[in-house]
Amino acid sequence: MAMTMNGEVRLQAPREEVWTKLNDPEVLKSCIPGCESLDKKSDTEFEAVATNKIGPVKARFKGRVTLSDLDPPNGYKISGQGDGGVAGFAKGGATVTLTPAEDGGTVLSYAVEAQIGGKLAQLGQRLVNGAAKKLADQFFEKFAAAVNPKEQA
């Protein structure tokens, strides 16, 4: 029942710059919704704590964020799985693809897949698509802001 969705954002920065920021833990931390900490364990592995609310269930997720399929500067897959204790679990990932835009910027397109379980699924199933979309939107909105600081100012 994994839920899936796709989207794209246009960024006013060249691909190489976007790629660097996609691999910068500080940028990721500021973009992951509800992220309290993101500790780098290796170049591609992080430990994260994030608090999020899906429908009536609010949970503090502890888990791993992993970067895989690295193909600089074309894209990668960012995936995470979090254990929310009695609230259940959430896991998911986004395949991120960077393509150069005609104006010298970058088109970032993403395909998200998310899965939830336990109480989150029991109570939040109908809301999960909306919630996941909102979380993804938040992530990429903030990421766009990080890449285009002037535009957002």
Partner 1 sequence: MTGTGIGAAVRRKEDLRFITGRGHYTDDISRPGQAYACFLRSPHAHARIRSIDTSAAANLPGVLAVLTGAELQADKIGNLICGWMIHSKDGSPMKMAPHPALAVGKVCYVGDPVAVVVAETLPQAKDAAEKIVVDYEVLPAVADPAKAKEGPQIHEVAPRNTIYEWALGDKAATDAAFASARHVTRLDIVNNRLAPNALEPRAAIGEYDAGSDSFTLWNTTQNPHVARLVISAFVGLAPEHKLRVIAPDVGGGFGSKIFIYPEEVVALWASKRVGRPVKWTCDRSEAFLADAHGRDHVTHAEMAFDDKGKIVGLRVHTIANLGAYMSTFSSSIPTYLYATLLSGQYAIPHIYCEVDAVYTNTVPVDAYRGAGRPEATFVVERLVEVGARELGIDPPELRRRNFIKSFPHQTPVIMTYDAGDYEASLRKALEIADYKNFPKRKRESARRGKLRGIGFSTYIEACGIAPSQAVGSLGAGVGLWESAEVRVNPTGSVEVLTGSHSHGQGHETTFAQLVSDRLGIPIENVSVIHGDTDKVQFGMGTYGSRSGAVGMSAIAKALDKVEAKAKKVASHLLEAAEGDIEFKDGKFIVSGTDKSATWADVALHAYIAHKFSGQELEPGLKEGAFYDPTNFTFPAGCHICEVEVDPDTGEVTIVGWTAVDDFGVVINPMIVEGQVHGGIAQGVGQALLEHAVYNSDGQLVTGSLMDYAMPRAGNLPSYKVDMTVTRCPSNPLGVKGCGEAGAIAAPAAVINAVTDAVGVEDIPMPATPQAVWSAIRSRAQPRQAA
Decide if 88 contacts 3 (C-beta within 8 A): no
CB of 54 to partner 1, least distance (A): 13
Secondary structure in 3-state letters for 55-74: CCEEEEEEEEEEEEEEECCC
Angle between helices 119-147 and 15-22 (to 10 degrees): 140
CB of 126 to partner 1, least distance (A): 6
Closest to partner 1 by CB, 98 vs 116, is 116
Closest to partner 1 by CB, 10 vs 41, is 41
Residue 132 phi/psi, 5-degree rounding, is -65, -40
CB of 85 to partner 1, least distance (A): 5
Residues that bind partner 1 (CB under 8 A): 1, 85-86, 88-89, 115-123, 125-126
Closest to partner 1 by CB, 101 vs 123, is 123
CB of 83 to partner 1, least distance (A): 8
Closest to partner 1 by CB, 46 vs 89, is 89
Question: How far is residue 122 from each of residues 87, 89, 115, measured CA to CA in Å?
Answer: 10, 11, 12
Q: Cis (ω within 30 of 0) for the bond into 73?
A: yes
